[in-house]
Amino acid sequence: MAGVASPRAFVATRQAMPPVSTVYRALDGGIHHARCSRRIEFMGGRAGLELDFYCFTCCEHVTLNSYVLSRLSSLLSRAGGLKPSAYPRAATFTRSKGDAGRLAVDIESVARKHNHRHDLALEDGDAIDIPREPKTVKVTGEVGSPASVLYEGGRSIGYYVDQAGGYTEKSDRGRVRFVLPNGKVKSARKFWFDPEPGPGAVVVVPVKPPSENKETLKGIATIVGIVTGAATTIFLAHEATK
C-alpha cells in the first residue's frame, strides 16, 4: 500500500502511537474500530496474552487481550468443560461494561448443544458463575411457613407449597410464579397443569391485593348477615306458633 509503512514498522513504533481499545465485533465477524467503524487488521501477538491490531483509517494501534476475541464456548472449552456436579441451568453471565448487569444467556445450551445464538463474544469485565447442582426449592411469600424444601424430582409447585405450610387465606393463587435458577421468571397460571419448578428454583406466592381482601371480607359479612337474618326469622316464626 503506497504511503503506508510496513507492518513491522508499526510494531516497532507502537509506543509512539496513541493506544486505542474501543472496538466492537461487527456482523461479518470482524473486529471494527469504534471511532471510524472500519475493520482493523491483525498485526501479531505477544506471549499469547496480547494481540496487536492496526486501524489504517485512523492510523492508530489497538491492543487487545486475547480473551476479548474469544466466545463463551471457547472459554468453557479452555476451562476443561463442565464437571459432573455442575448445574449450568443456574449459571449466571454478568457484564460490567455499560452497566449491562446480568444477561439472559442460556449457558447450558452453549456448553452441551453448542447453541450459537447464546455463544456471545466475551468482553472485558464479563463474569461467569456456574454453581453446583442445588438440592432445594425455596418457597417464599404468603404461605404458612416460608422455607427451603428438599428437591424431589417430579414434584409440582403444590407439593412444595404444602411442605412450606400451604396457602393462607390471603394467598393469591392466581399469581403464583417461580424463578428459575438462571433468573428467568415463569407464571404458574400459564400452565393447565401444576408445573415442576426444578432444583434451585424459588416459588413466590404473592398476597392478594387489598381490594380483593376487602371484597372477600365483605362477602363473608354478607353471608353471615343472611344466615343471621334467616335464623332470626325462623326463631320468630317458631315463637308465633306457640
Structural domain contains residue 193: yes
Pairing label, strands 185-187, 177-179: antiparallel
> 20 and 62 in one domain?
yes
Structural domain contains residue 231: no
Structural domain contains residue 235: no
> 197 and 140 in one domain?
yes
Structural domain contains residue 215: no
What pTM value is reported for the model?
0.54
Q: Taking 80 as the threshold, does the pLDDT of residue 47 lie above it?
A: no
> 88 and 144 in one domain?
no
Structural domain contains residue 16: yes
pLDDT tens digits along 219-229: 666 665 655 55
∠ Cα 134 139 140 (to 5°): 130
Last residue of a domain, one of 32, 49, 69: 69
> 44 and 110 in one domain?
no
Give the least confident one: 28-32, 61-65, 97-101: 28-32
pLDDT: which is higher, 74 or 125: 125
Structural domain contains residue 197: yes
Structural domain contains residue 113: yes
What is the model's pLDDT at position 17?
41
pLDDT tens digits along 144-203: 999 999 999 889 899 999 999 999 999 998 899 988 887 788 887 655 567 788 899 999
Structural domain contains residue 35: yes
Query: Where in the sequence is the domain holding 150, given as residue range(s)?
Result: 136-210
> 39 and 65 in one domain?
yes
Number of separate domains in the chain? 3
* Rounded percentage of the chain residues whose pLDDT exceeds 90: 19
pLDDT: which is higher, 76 or 12: 76
DSSP string, the chain: -TT---HHHHHHTGGGSPPB--EEE-TTS-EEETTT-PBPEEEEEETTTEEEEEETTTTEEEEEEGGGG-BHHHHHHHTT---TTB-GGG-EEEE-GGG-EEE---HHHHHHH--GGG-PBP-TT-EEE--BPP-EEEEEESBSS-EEEE--TT--HHHHHHHTT-B-TTB-GGG-EEE-TTS-EEEGGGSSS-----TT-EEEEPBPPHHHHHHHHHHHHHHHHHHHHHHHHHHHHHHHT-
> 202 and 143 in one domain?
yes
